[in-house]
């Protein structure tokens, strides 16, 4: 650590007011510096605007799934916001302390997420991330459809297309809950599509999927 930068980072961290010790700030000085580029000066948190800027720096679209992956890596709690702690967590894990390193880390991140165990965690994280209110347990169907496309679109395109088509055409379900969300992922993994041959509605599949299968089979005729 260079002495001159030490002072810089300590003043920077003092300005950020995160209350971290000198030792910690030493480690995170570059990361914090990067944080401040995008953070709102008064709240000291990266807000949606900041994220937009971040996206353009990363040369990634605002709605790109990689931002969501980044949020996951950061274990970000609130959609549209990154706190310093979260920023530090994420970038440290990615071993990135500059924009160029961060850009380079993205493809690695994508690969990491697509590993089955990690993907499961990411997938359920994606749902939770959308729960904006305190006691909220469900997300509305419209948002759910968008999220599905974003998160599963590449891996299970046909299923996602059909399922979202179904969801939009029916009126019984206005929201989706976590159980149904996870159920769909299981469905994609275990049931061959479009044959759906070993799907048994007498088993413990969520009812929404029973209805989807029935709708799908009806429409096939």
Partner 1 sequence: MNSQSQRRKNFKIEAFKHKVELDPKYAERTWKVLEHAIHEIYNNNASRLSFEELYRSAYNMVLHKYGDKLYSGLVATMTAHLNKIAKSVESAQGGLFLEKLNHKWADHNKALQMIRDILMYMDRSYVPTSHKTPVHELGLNLWSDHIIHSPNIQARLQDTLLDLVQRERTGDVINRGLMRNITKMLMDLGSSVYQDDFEKPFLDVSACFYSGESQQFIECCDCGSYLKKAERRLNEEMERVSHYLDAKTEVKITSVVEREMIANHMQRLVHMDNSGLVNMLIDDKYDDLSRMYSLFKRVPEGLSTIRDVMTSYLRERGRVLVTDTERLKDPVEFVQCLLNEKDKHDKIISTAFNNDKTFQNALNSSFEYFINLNNRSPEFISLYLDDKLRKGLKGASEEEVEVVLDKVMMLFRYLQEKDVFEKYYKQHLAKRLLSGKTVSDDAERSMIVKLKTECGYQFTSKLEGMFTDMKTSEDTMLDFYAKQSAELGDGPTLAVQILTTGSWPTQPTAACNLPPEILTVCEKFRTYYLGTHSGRRLTWQTNMGTADIKATFGKGHKHELNVSTYQMCVLMLFNSADGLTYREIEQATEVPALDLKRCLQSLACVKGKNVLRKEPMSKDISEEDVFYFNDKFTSKFVKVKIGTVVAQKESEPEKQETRQRVEEDRKPQIEAAIVRIMKSRRVLDHNSIVAEVTKQLQSRFLPNPVVIKKRIESLIEREFLERDKADRKLYRYLA
Binding residues for partner 1 (CB under 8 A): 137, 177, 179-180, 186, 202-204, 206-207, 210
The closest alpha carbon to 35, from 51, 21, 24, belongs to 51
Tokens 């260079």 -> residue: 2
Kindly state the smallest distance separating residue 207's Cβ from partner 1, in Å. 5
Closest CB to partner 1 among residues 17, 192: 192
Q: Where are the alpha helices (DSSP H) in the chain?
A: 3-16, 22-27, 29-38, 48-58, 65-74, 84-94, 99-113, 116-129, 141-152, 157-169, 178-190, 207-220
Structure tokens at 207: 């009812």
Closest CB to partner 1 among residues 108, 179: 179
Kindly state the smallest distance separating residue 138's Cβ from partner 1, in Å. 8
Kindly state the smallest distance separating residue 134's Cβ from partner 1, in Å. 16
Tell me how far the alpha carbon of residue 95 is from its chain's centroid: 19
Compute the distance between CA of residue 169 and CA of residue 151 in angstroms, rounded to an integer: 21
Contact between 32 and 88 under an 8 Å Cβ cutoff? The reply is yes
Kindly state the smallest distance separating residue 177's Cβ from partner 1, in Å. 6
Kindly state the smallest distance separating residue 137's Cβ from partner 1, in Å. 7
Closest CB to partner 1 among residues 18, 177: 177
Closest CB to partner 1 among residues 10, 143: 143
Closest CB to partner 1 among residues 79, 211: 211
Structure tokens at 22: 């000198």
Q: How many helices (H) and strands (E) does the chain have?
A: 12, 2
Kindly state the smallest distance separating residue 28's Cβ from partner 1, in Å. 35
Measure the CA dihedral 190/192/193/197, to 10°: -110
Closest CB to partner 1 among residues 129, 205: 205
């Amino acid at each position: 650590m260079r002495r001159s930068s030490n002072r810089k980072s300590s003043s920077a961290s003092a300005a950020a007011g995160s209350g971290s010790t000198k030792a910690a700030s030493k480690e995170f000085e570059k990361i914090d510096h990067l944080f401040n580029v995008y953070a709102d000066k008064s709240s000291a948190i990266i807000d949606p605007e900041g994220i937009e800027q971040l996206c353009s720096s990363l040369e990634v679209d605002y709605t790109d799934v990689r931002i969501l992956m980044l949020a996951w890596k950061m274990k970000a709690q609130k959609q549209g916001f990154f706190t310093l702690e979260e920023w530090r967590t994420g970038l440290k894990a990615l071993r990135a302390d500059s924009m160029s390193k961060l850009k380079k880390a993205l493809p690695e991140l994508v690969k990491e997420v697509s590993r089955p165990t990690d993907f499961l965690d990411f997938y359920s994280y994606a749902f939770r991330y959308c729960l904006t209110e305190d006691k909220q347990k469900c997300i509305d169907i419209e948002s759910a459809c968008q999220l599905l496309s974003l998160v599963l679109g590449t891996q299970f395109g046909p299923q996602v297309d059909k399922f979202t088509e179904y969801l939009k055409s029916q009126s019984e379900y206005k929201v989706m809950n976590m159980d149904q969300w996870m159920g769909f992922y299981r469905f994609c993994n275990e049931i061959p599509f479009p044959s759906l041959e070993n799907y048994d509605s007498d088993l413990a599949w969520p009812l929404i999927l029973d209805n989807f299968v029935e709708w799908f089979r009806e429409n096939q005729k």
